[in-house]
Amino acid sequence: MTRRGDHRCIRRLSRIVSVFLVAIATLLVWPALVSAQTSGVAPPRVLLLMANDHRIPVTLQMTEAARVRLTERLGDVRFYSDFLDLQRFPSDADQDRTARFLSDKYASIHLDVIIAIGPQALRFITDRWPNGASPSKVVYCAVGSDLAEELASRPNIVGGTAAEFDYVKTLTMARALQPKAHKVVAIFGSSNFDREQNKRVREQLASEEKQIEIEYWSGRPLADVLRQVAELPPDTIVLPAAFRGDVSGKVMIPWVPLSQIMAAASAPTYSVYDTQVGQGVVGGYSMSFADEGRVAADLAADVIEGRELGRLPVRRPVQNKFRVDAQQLDRWGFSRANLPPDTLVMFEKPTLWSQYRLFVLVTLGVIVVQSALVTTLLIQRQRRVRAEAEAEQRRQEVAHLMRVSILGELSGALAHEITQPLTAILSNAHAALDMLPEHAPGAVELREAIEDIVQEDTRAGEVVKRLRRLLKKGDKTNEPFDMNELVLATVTLLRSEGLGRGITIKTELADALPRVWGDPIQIQQVLLNLAMNAMDAMASTPSTERIVLFSTAITPTGGIDVLVRDRGVGLPTGDKDQVFKPFFTTKDRGLGLGLAICSSIAQAHDGKVTLISDEDGGAVATLSLPASKQVPLANDTATLESALRPLAANP
Amino acid sequence: MICGIEPEVNSQNPYQMSIDATMFVPPHLIAVVDDEAPVLRGLRRLLRGRGFEVRTYESAHEFLTALQAEKPDCLIVDFQMPGMTGLELHRHLTRAGAHIPTIVITAHNERTIEKLCLAEGVSAFLSKPLQISSLSAAIHESCGMTAPSQESRSR
């Protein structure tokens, strides 16, 4: 039971597997079967019959384009090609011989389509091709409409391209580019083709001759043409139209003389052949021979595929275009703005951008990045230099501050150290005076000497006391005093200094000045400082004009102004208030603290110090103190420390 | 003013004057405490010349040691000294009940210190270098003597 079930199962499985295998085999073999089927049909055979030899670019462009298009359309196509070389072998005998050769050659081969390149090739086929039992269909290109019409009734001729050279449009373009041109020179050779072309061009340009003089050159030897064309004025329009042979009967390769003429011409040349663009012509309204080849190939493919073609012969148009050579435009200095719209500008010199876009982008990027880097580094350097300069200035200020504060610190110790010996000296001097016998020999002089010691010692002690008071914190007096007296005392102090510098010190004191409250010593310090500044400012003033004038005045508000006027160099330009900042100095050996201290002393007295340039030259410093009242003096103001406070607050 | 010294010394022989002072009472004992020897020597010469008995000490400690032996009529002490300052010495003495008139002398003429000292009961506060007139007046006051009047000393 189980065994029978197993057998059935296996049989069913093997059937499924075999079906599957067949399916796979079929799938694998199918492409081969298909290809075998297609390869079983012989590929279409196409003969490209060319009138001239193989070196003519026009022919090559047409046949190559046709070949590519036919292969695109039909896949496997067997191409044959023959060159009739009718330019050099034009006689009936030559052509008959070629015809015999070709009929022998293709006797056993059925050609589906013969594509005739050029009118002579077409005429050769119609007149001499022995179309036998299975006649080939004929498609032509580069054949004029005259011949096409003439041969329209012939059997087997399917048709071809309908390309026309348009000399009118070419001339229109030339005149647009050369608005000043007054003559056209159309150049032709002496071969049959050339003469035929000459006739056609004349017909086309007949209407143009009303507007511009047209000269037709023909029947001249090439050498003459080359010489004459080189002597044309540059405002001539040159049309080297056709030159396949000159009067000598010498046959030429069609494009060679044309190129020579173009090279020799001293005026811009134009052509209806697109193949000439890039060979020296400016351009023209030309059709592309490659386009013509493609159109003919399409027609041939239609024939082979058996498509409905309509009424024979089929004439398929080929689109013409304005084509110009950018290099020639530049050579003659023609403006692109004058070109007809939709002109194809060829051989534009590739710009750096179009050629090396990525490279340019990368280079630009690198330059930008590097510039940014360099700029950043420069900015950083500048900042560093500035920061260093600032740091240096700060360091110097701090050094100053250190010195000054050390001086302040020292002042206590210094005062002590000086005062102690002064005390000993004074005590001893007094003791000596006490002990000195009155009537001893030389006692009078000795007494005087000791008295001098006492006096000078006392004076030195006084100096130390004042220095101490100046340098240490607080401990100021606040008492009423007479400003005029203080000014006079200050002037007395300054007199010897003034004499030494050749400076006259004058006073103009107001009467009935109210008394001022404050510390006269500090106020005197301010006056001394202002006076010393005034004196320093007059170092370069002529000695007769060296005058410092102290004047006092009562202000409208009842306060007192003390003015110190000099005839010196005036104030430094720049920030008006900078002179009051600590450590600002214009003097080589100045500490830069004088005015800062003066200012803070004045402020402690509820007054102020101002400094302005005098109209007569020099400067006027004014100490203004408020109306008489008892000024409460805080202990920590109006000294060095408060003068330095702005600096300390801004380290 | 400074010139106050001159009439004082010019009026008569100070040496003579001090002898006069000693004629009535035994000479007053003045203790001088200062950490600087030259100052001590100078003051000793001056005060001895003026008829005072003078003891000098270079520190508060030295003075305190000597105090057990004899008590001065007047103490002249420098404010700023290593160890115990003049004011501290004065406090110490006051606290110990030894009431010695004290004249504080200092090279730092600071008002705050002066106020402090006077508030603590110091009899005089003089700044160095010592004005002879002020010193003389202060000593005489401290010792309960009649200070020589300015008139008697001036010319």
What SS3 class is residue A638?
Answer: coil
| Beta bridge pairs of residue A184 | A214, A237
**Which tens digit of pLDDT belongs to each residue from A328-345?**
999 999 988 999 988 888
Cα angle A414, A641, A596; round to 5? 110
A23 pLDDT higher than 80: no
What SS3 class is residue A605?
Answer: coil
CA distance A618 to A610: 14
Burial A277-292 (b: 16+ CB within 10 A, else e): bebbbbbbbbbbbbbb
Bigger pLDDT: A606 vs A204: A204
Q: What residues have CB less than 8 Å from A599, skipping those under 6 apart?
A: A580, A608, A609, A643
Which of A568, A563, A495 shows the shortest CA–CA distance to A536?
A: A568
Q: What is the mean pLDDT of residues A426-437?
A: 89
Q: Do B129 and A415 touch (CB under 8 A)?
A: no
How sure is the predictor about B7, in pLDDT bands with cuts at 50, 70 and 90?
very low
DSSP string, A573-592: SS-GGGGGSTT--SSTT--S
B42: chain A residues, CB-CB within 8 Å = 423-428, 431
CA distance B34 to A481: 38
CA distance A606 to A627: 10
pLDDT at residue A382, rounded to an integer: 94
pLDDT at residue A294, rounded to an integer: 92
pLDDT at residue A482, rounded to an integer: 86
Q: What residues have CB less than 8 Å from A120, skipping those under 6 apart?
A: A51, A52, A84, A86
Determine how many CB atoms are found less than 10 A away from the CB of residue A619: 21
B45: chain A residues, CB-CB within 8 Å = 427-428, 431-432, 435
Q: Do B42 and A435 touch (CB under 8 A)?
A: no
Bigger pLDDT: A497 vs A389: A389
- Letter for the amino acid at A520? P
Q: Are A628 and A516 in contact (CB under 8 A)?
A: yes
Task: Count chain A–chain B contacts defined by CB atoms under 8 A.
Answer: 91
Q: What residues have CB less than 8 Å from A573, skipping those under 6 apart?
A: none
**Which tens digit of pLDDT belongs to each residue from A169-210?**
999 999 999 999 989 999 999 888 888 889 989 999 999 888
A453: chain B residues, CB-CB within 8 Å = none
A290 pLDDT higher than 80: yes
What SS3 class is residue A409?
Answer: helix
Determine how many CB atoms are found less than 10 A away from the CB of residue A12: 10
Q: Are A631 and A593 in contact (CB under 8 A)?
A: no
DSSP string, B65-122: HHHTT---SEEEEESS-SSS-HHHHHHHHHHHT----EEEEES---HHHHHHHHHTT-
Q: Which residue carries 């300390």 as its tokens?
A: A648
Which of A285, A222, A267 shows the shortest CA–CA distance to A276?
A: A285
CA dist list (Å): A176 to A216, A348, A443: 21, 20, 133
In the structure encoding, which two tokens stand for residue A34, read together? 């298909």
Question: Where are any strands of DSSP class E within A181-223?
Answer: 183-188, 213-217
CA dist list (Å): A272 to A55, A139, A174, A533: 19, 23, 11, 98
Please give, rounded to a whole number of angstroms, the shortest distance from the CA of B110 to a CA of chain A. Answer: 7
Q: What residues have CB less than 8 Å from A144, skipping those under 6 apart?
A: A119, A164, A200
Tell how strand A137-141 and strand A113-117 pair up: parallel
- Letter for the amino acid at A527? L
φ, ψ of residue A295 in degrees (nearest 5) = -60, -45
A593 pLDDT higher than 80: no
pLDDT at residue A165, rounded to an integer: 81
CA distance A82 to A85: 9
Say if A475 is an interface residue toward chain B (CB within 8 Å): yes
pLDDT at residue A646, rounded to an integer: 40
Q: Do A458 and B110 touch (CB under 8 A)?
A: no
CA distance A450 to A576: 54
A463 pLDDT higher than 70: yes
Q: Which of B13, B41, B132 sits opposite A424 (nearest CB)?
A: B41
Q: Which of B2, B42, B111 sits opposite A455 (nearest CB)?
A: B2
For A166, the enclosing helix (H) or strand (E) is: none
Say if B50 is an interface residue toward chain A (CB within 8 Å): yes
Determine how many CB atoms are found less than 10 A away from the CB of residue A529: 20
For chain A, give the mean pLDDT. Answer: 81
Q: Which residue carries 């159309």 as its tokens?
A: A186
Q: Is the dihedral of CA B78, B82, B87, B89 positive or negative?
A: negative
Question: Where are any strands of DSSP class E within A84-131?
Answer: 113-117
In the structure encoding, which two tokens stand for residue A33, read together? 């079967």
Q: Are A69 and A293 in contact (CB under 8 A)?
A: yes
Q: Do A426 and B9 touch (CB under 8 A)?
A: no
A3 pLDDT higher than 90: no
> Does the ipTM exceed 0.90?
no
B5: chain A residues, CB-CB within 8 Å = 430, 454, 458
pLDDT at residue A26, rounded to an integer: 62
Across the beta sheet with A45-50, the strand order is A78-83, A45-50, A113-117, A137-141, A157-162, A314-317
Please give, rounded to a whole number of angstroms, the shortest distance from the CA of A431 to a CA of chain B. Answer: 4
Q: pTM value? A: 0.41
CA distance A472 to A640: 8
**Which tens digit of pLDDT belongs to each residue from B82-127?**
888 899 999 999 998 888 999 999 887 677 788 888 898 899 999 8
3-state secondary structure A24-92: HHHHHHHHHHHHHHHHHCCCCEEEEEECCCCCCHHHHHHHHHHHHHHHHHHCCCEEEEEECCCCCCCCH
Q: What percent of chain A has pLDDT over 90?
A: 24
B38: chain A residues, CB-CB within 8 Å = 420-421, 424
Which of A199, A203, A44, A193 shows the shortest CA–CA distance to A121?
A: A193
- Closest chain B CA to residue A424: B39
A549 pLDDT higher than 80: yes
pLDDT at residue B3, rounded to an integer: 38
Q: What residues have CB less than 8 Å from A466, skipping those under 6 apart?
A: A521
Q: What burial class does residue A496 get, using C-beta atoms within 10 Å of its C-beta: 0-12 exposed, 13-18 middle, 19+ buried?
A: exposed
Number of H helices, E strands in chain B: 8, 5
pLDDT at residue A245, rounded to an integer: 84
Q: How many CA atoms lie within 13 A of A324 on its CB side?
A: 28
- Letter for the amino acid at A275? T
Bigger pLDDT: A308 vs A640: A308
Q: Are B112 and B153 in contact (CB under 8 A)?
A: no
Q: What percent of chain B has pLDDT over 70?
A: 76
Q: Do A422 and B128 touch (CB under 8 A)?
A: yes
Q: Are A621 and A534 in contact (CB under 8 A)?
A: yes
Q: What residues have CB less than 8 Å from A110, skipping those under 6 apart?
A: A45, A134, A136
Bigger pLDDT: A405 vs A152: A152
How sure is the predictor about A583, in pLDDT bands with cuts at 50, 70 and 90?
low
What SS3 class is residue A213?
Answer: strand
Q: What is the mean pLDDT of residues A441-465?
A: 87
pLDDT at residue A317, rounded to an integer: 86
Bigger pLDDT: A273 vs A71: A71
CA dist list (Å): A416 to A523, A610, B109, B127: 26, 37, 10, 11
CA distance A200 to A206: 10
Q: Do A415 and B42 touch (CB under 8 A)?
A: no
CA distance A300 to A431: 150
**Which tens digit of pLDDT belongs to each residue from A342-374?**
888 888 887 888 888 899 999 999 999 999 999
How sure is the predictor about A318, in pLDDT bands with cuts at 50, 70 and 90?
confident
Q: Are B60 and B33 in contact (CB under 8 A)?
A: yes
Tell how strand A547-554 and strand A560-565 pair up: antiparallel
Q: Which of A415, A434, A465 sits opposite B14 (nearest CB)?
A: A434
Of the listed ranges A282-291, A499-508, A629-638, the least confidently predicted one is: A629-638
CA distance A571 to A142: 99
Q: Are A183 and A294 in contact (CB under 8 A)?
A: no
Q: What is the mean pLDDT of residues A475-498?
A: 78
